[in-house]
């Protein structure tokens, strides 16, 4: 039983309505003010190649450029896990946008740790597509030059990194230490955080693909940026999302219209319209917050204030945005 459920049970069984208990079991996403206040920070919300995408000069991508010029740009999907009191930091997926994404981490301790070349207590990698691990490149010799940083991933992803350059060189130089983890069991990272790896079906050309579930003192968060259709996942999306407090989910495409020539049976990612249909009950019941991420540059839900964003919000779903925080 995690601490939040324990405290809820304790408060209920004791008939307590003390403000302390209200604080300790406060809704996910609110700041509790606890000394060990741990949170997940959204560092990116776009598909692998970012937003705008290279060489794309549509109206939508130009709007994406304008957002960057205003300091409000979107980056490739990624998270930081932050433990302010303990001054611990974890990175979830290392994207090509990593240089500017790390500037979003507000804690002064992070900058000190970066200057010491040990910014992260661990880096989690979901899979071997460029938006999820290519950022490691600038953490090596020609960039930050990190040292002794654990990289948590699947055994096949670890094999891929250990046997292909330039990633192999990061291992040989002692910049990263590969820590392959088995699926479907909790692994303790430190006194506050645990992680679990869930295998998901995806285009696995070089290595397999996982979602991560992070469990902190207050809440549990699912990070699932890439998957084929929900129907291909043996775990079941409703069951999976219902078991966490916050779910950041693959929202690459809005509708089939973005994929000319593809049939509904051959979709490489779930459509937002399908995801909302499947998970509407979970959202309506308040079981979990569903936050859409990994949006492709063709996705109209990127249009700020557009009808698709309005529909998402109206139905109780959320769209990930850089700087968003979720208490863990
Ligand atoms: Zn991706
Ligand atoms: Zn992928």
Q: Give dist(CA 237, CA 251) in Å, integer.
A: 13
Distance from the CA of 66 to the center of ligand 2, in angstroms?
A: 27
Q: Give dist(CA 247, CA 222) in Å, integer.
A: 5
140/235 same-domain check = yes
Q: Are 92 and 210 in contact (CB under 8 A)?
A: no
Distance from the CA of 269 to the center of ligand 2, in angstroms?
A: 9
Q: Which two tokens stand for residue 209?
A: 């693909």
Distance from the CA of 48 to the center of ligand 2, in angstroms?
A: 7
91/143 same-domain check = yes
9/80 same-domain check = no
Helix, coil or strand: residue 240: helix
Q: Are 28 and 218 in contact (CB under 8 A)?
A: yes
Distance from the CA of 293 to the center of ligand 1, in angstroms?
A: 10
* Ligand number, closest to the Cα atom of 128: 2
150 cis-preceded (ω within 30 degrees of 0) = no
103/252 same-domain check = yes
8/55 same-domain check = no
pLDDT at 35: 44
Distance from the CA of 285 to the center of ligand 1, in angstroms?
A: 29
295/190 same-domain check = yes
53 cis-preceded (ω within 30 degrees of 0) = no
200/161 same-domain check = yes
25/37 same-domain check = no
Provide the CATH number for the domain around residue 300: 3.60.15.10
What residues make up the domain containing 321? 32-327
Distance from the CA of 64 to the center of ligand 2, in angstroms?
A: 22
Distance from the CA of 299 to the center of ligand 2, in angstroms?
A: 16
Number of domains in the chain: 2
Q: Are 185 and 175 in contact (CB under 8 A)?
A: no
Distance from the CA of 173 to the center of ligand 2, in angstroms?
A: 27
pLDDT at 261: 79
Distance from the CA of 202 to the center of ligand 2, in angstroms?
A: 7
20/147 same-domain check = no
pLDDT at 36: 60
- Give this prediction's pTM: 0.89
pLDDT averages per 10-residue partition of the chain, 328 residues:
40 34 36 68 98 96 98 98 97 98 97 97 98 98 97 98 98 98 98 97 94 97 96 96 98 90 79 97 98 97 97 98 98
15/44 same-domain check = no
Distance from the CA of 175 to the center of ligand 2, in angstroms?
A: 24
245/194 same-domain check = yes
């Amino acid at each position: 039983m995690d601490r939040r459920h324990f405290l809820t049970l304790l408060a209920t069984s004791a008939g307590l309505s003390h403000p302390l208990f209200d604080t300790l079991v406060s809704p996910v996403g609110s700041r509790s003010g606890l000394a060990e206040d741990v949170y997940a920070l959204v560092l990116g919300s776009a598909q692998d190649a970012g937003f705008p995408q290279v060489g794309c000069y549509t109206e939508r991508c130009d709007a994406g450029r304008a957002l960057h010029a205003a300091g409000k740009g979107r980056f490739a999907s990624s998270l930081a896990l932050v433990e302010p009191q303990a001054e611990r930091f974890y990175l979830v997926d290392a994207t090509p946008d990593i240089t500017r994404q790390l500037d979003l981490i507000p804690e002064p301790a992070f900058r000190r740790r970066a200057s010491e070349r040990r910014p992260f207590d661990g880096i989690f990698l979901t899979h071997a597509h460029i938006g999820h691990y290519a950022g490691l490149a600038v953490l090596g010799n020609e960039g930050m030059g990190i040292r002794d940083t654990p990289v948590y991933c699947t055994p096949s992803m670890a094999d891929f990194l250990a046997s292909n350059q330039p990633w192999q060189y990061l291992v040989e130089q002692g910049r990263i230490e590969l820590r392959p983890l088995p699926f479907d069991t909790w692994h303790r990272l430190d006194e506050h955080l645990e992680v679990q790896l869930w295998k998901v079906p995806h285009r696995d050309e070089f290595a397999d693909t996982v979602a991560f579930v992070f469990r902190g003192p207050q809440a549990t968060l699912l990070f699932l940026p890439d998957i084929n259709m929900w129907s291909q996942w043996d775990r079941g999306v409703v069951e999976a999302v219902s078991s966490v407090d916050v779910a950041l989910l693959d929202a690459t495409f809005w509708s089939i219209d973005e994929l000319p020539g593809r049939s509904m049976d051959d979709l490489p990612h779930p459509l937002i319209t399908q995801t909302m249909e499947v998970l509407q009950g979970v959202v309506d019941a308040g079981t979990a917050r569903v936050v859409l991420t990994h949006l492709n540059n063709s996705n109209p839900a990127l249009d700020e204030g557009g009808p698709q964003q309005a529909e998402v919000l109206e139905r109780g779903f959320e769209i990930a945005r850089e700087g968003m925080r979720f208490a863990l």
